Amino acid sequence: VQATGISLAYGDRDILRDVTVNLSTGDRCALAGANGSGKSSLMKILAGISQPDSGSVTTTGGSRISYLPQAGITHHGRTLDEEVETAFREAGSRIAERDQVAGMIAGLSESDPSVHDLVERHHLLEEEILQSGYYEREAEISRVLTGLGFAQEDLGRRTDEFSGGWQMRIALAKVLLEQPDFLLLDEPTNYLDLEARVWLGRFLGTFRGGVLLVSHDRRFLDETVHIIWELFLAVLRRYRGTYTDYERRRAMELEQTIAGWARQQEEIRRVEDFIRRFRATASKAKQVQSRVKQLEKMDLIEIPEHLKRMRFRIPPAPRSGRETVTLTDLRRSYDANSVLEHLDLTVERGEKVVLVGPNGAGKSTLLRILADRDGGFTGSRRYGAGVALGYYAEDDSRPTTVHEPQDRRESVLEAVSETKTGQTEQQLRNLLGGFLFHGDDVYKQMSVLSGGERSRVALLQLLLQPLNLLILDEPTNHLDMTSKQVLLDALTGYDGTVVFVSHDRSFIESLATRVIELKPSEGGDIEPSTVTDFPGDYSYYEWKLEHGANRASDATRTGTDRKNEPAAVSDQEAHKARRNRIQKLERLMEELLEQMGVLQNRHQEIQRELTDPLIYGVGASVRRLTGELGSLDHEIAEVSARWDAAEVEHSQLLSE
């Protein structure tokens, strides 16, 4: 798929500027960029769904492209198996043509001159049908639907019965089953749980064609792609390597860009100050005019809004008892379906607990019980002294426990102002910017917001409250990479307790200090989920899963008495030591990057000074600067070597 000179603008704002790019068979590309940078627009243009203002898109050899949008696809009028069968519609039309050609051949004599061409056409059609997987479609349909989380009994369900997230899974299944030459997937992980994300990554790893995708799951991207296309100020940049490699390189580049922008802003301020001071002085007229021309000719460095990283702190958590919430012999059923049974669970002050497991295992049910949103259980739930909790779920009509439903006539800014946290209007606007409400967006009425926008408002309202127990169901679903990092920074620095569900492995790895796994029973819906407690972070949980039979050594069924097991302690200590070393290396690498930036900035300053002809009239200055330049070259090489060594060790530890 070749795009040449693609440009697109909305009004006076450039979205894409002269983008030329090639997606080849075997490529695994991620399309990166800030929210609103044009990722979806470019993907639609490549898929042939929309047209650019200028430029062209061509495909070679009749290549077929399948495209999955972010949202908005619904299915009705068929059962699930009938709907996904339509992915083979093109193969079905080839079968009809093949049969028609076979009939034509049967009606002709062997000596007829057209028989040869018809036989060739018949062979070609049969080959295309074979390559489409049509004859193995039942097995392939079962494999894909199972991988995406559908149960066998779902096959006969009407598609109208599935929720929006499951509708998008159906659409994804159809796209994958079409077996195109190129897959263009716009945020395919948004509606997938952890298991389905892992399965999709493996599917894409064996896919023979080219892949271009957008995702906000760093871990998924690291495991899936080896090329990054970044849209930055309407221009496309290309990087090779994992997504983490790209982020590290971009961090260094952006640090230099921001430093250059800051120097330029200082230069502009200095020149403008000169013009202002001497504009009315006749003897300075030539110098003033020269400075004006200098500003006009200056090639301005641009810094997009999303680079101005907003940070905020969640209000300090009020003091609570050591045990924030305790469940004892808890049971929850829906009619004859048992979800949770004999569950004993204690969450202690300051813990960051993640609930993991496939959809339908009871994660959201358990969160609602913890948040006092579900009273249909037996057993006991007890909150500790002084607990003030807040609950967030994107599909909940009352997103927090501290507010009545928002007045849909008020603006976004007014809705957030009601939290009465003492923030100024400008501070609240800055916070809203971190949650993707920029400029005049803060004056939108709540009544016109999309579901995702209302969810972001609700989440920010919650985080501004002085609470000590946050219960969060999929808090990252409507956030881009930058706003997700804002949320992660805030929760990491929060001194209260967090219990959450997320399907973003990178987010979980960075936040969770304890993992509780809910796993559906093999007995089906009538049997409760198995609940297992892993007293460690997410990488420890994954490590225990990889060791299979040993996973139970310190991961215990909740409700049982935890014993000190030497093997478990040994395992945990080894894992903790490895984790500490990884974190130490990451801090060292960050420090080295900062040093590198300082050294490179000074290197550039000296090079600029040496371009001034006047300096060569002062030999001592030239010798001093060239000597410093040589020292800087040596220091830069030394810091770079240290960073490389740390990066190698870091990669080795991650792969163990």
* Per-residue three-class SS string for 309-371: CCCCCCCCCCCCCCEEEEEEEEEEEECCEEEEEEEEEEEECCCEEEEECCCCCCHHHHHHHHC
pLDDT of residue 545: 81
User: CATH code at 348?
Assistant: 3.40.50.300
DSSP 565: -
Residue where a domain terminates, one of 464, 490, 508: 464
Same domain flag for 252 and 385: no
From the CB of residue 488, how many other CB atoms can be counted at a distance below 10 Å? Answer: 18
pLDDT of residue 560: 38
- Is 608 found in the same domain as 543? no
pLDDT at site 36: 77
Is residue 597 located within the same domain as residue 474?
no
- Name residues of the chain where pLDDT drops below 50: 397-406, 549-554, 559-569
Answer for the pair 209, 59: CB distance below 8 angstroms, yes or no.
no
| CA separation for the pair 495, 513 (Å, rounded) | 13
Residues 116-130 pLDDT 10s: 888 888 888 888 778
Query: For residues 85 and 31, is the Cβ–Cβ distance under 8 A?
Result: no
Co-location of 554 and 641 in the same domain: no
Give the domain-ending residue among 423, 441, 464. 464
Residues paired with residue 347 on neighbouring β-strands, in sequence order: 325
Q: Is residue 140 part of a domain?
A: no
In a domain? residue 51:
no
393/341 same-domain check: yes
Q: In terms of domains, do 391 and 530 share one?
A: yes
pLDDT of residue 580: 76
On whether both 587 and 651 belong to a single domain, the answer is yes
Q: For residues 238-268, b (16+ Cβ closer than 10 Å) or e, as one string? A: ebeebbebbbbebeeebbebebebeeeeeee
Does residue 95 fall inside a structural domain? Answer: no
Cα separation, 557 vs 560, whole angstroms: 6
> 248-279: per-residue pLDDT in tens?
888 788 778 877 877 888 888 888 888 888 88
Q: Is the dihedral of CA 540, 541, 547, 550 positive or negative?
A: positive
Q: Which of 447, 464, 481 is the last residue of a domain?
A: 464
pLDDT at 46: 95
Q: Are residues 494 and 540 in the same domain?
A: yes
Domain identity same for 430 and 559: no
- Does residue 556 lie within any of the structural domains? yes
DSSP for 152-170, please give it. Answer: GGGGGSBGGGS-HHHHHHH
- CA–chain centroid gap for 609, Å, is 43
Q: What pLDDT is attached to residue 324?
A: 93
Whole domain around residue 289: which residue ranges? 247-307
For 206, 226, 239, the CA distances from 244, given in Å and listed in that order, are 22, 10, 11
Q: What angle do CA 652, 565, 656 make, to 5 degrees?
A: 10
β-strands 2-10, 469-473: how paired? unpaired
398 and 541 fall within a common domain: yes
Q: What is the pTM of this model?
A: 0.65
Q: Examine residue 93 and state whether it is found in any structural domain, yes or no.
A: no
Alpha-carbon distances, residue 196 vs 71, 153, 272 (angstroms):
17, 18, 57
Q: Is residue 371 part of a domain?
A: yes
- Regarding whether 477 and 554 lie in a shared domain, the answer is yes
Confirm whether 553 is domain-assigned. yes
* Cβ proximity of 129 and 99 under 8 Å: no
Q: Are residues 339 and 477 in the same domain?
A: yes
CATH of the domain at 594: 1.10.287
- Residue 96, Cβ neighbours under 10 Å: how many? 10
Q: What's the one-letter identity of residue 580?
A: N
Q: For residues 546 and 304, what is the distance between their CA atoms, to the nearest angstrom?
A: 42
pLDDT at residue 400, as a whole number: 46
Residue 389 lies in a domain: yes
Domain count, the chain: 4
Return the sign of the alpha-carbon dihedral for residues 120, 125, 126, 131.
Answer: positive
- Residue 158: what pLDDT? 93
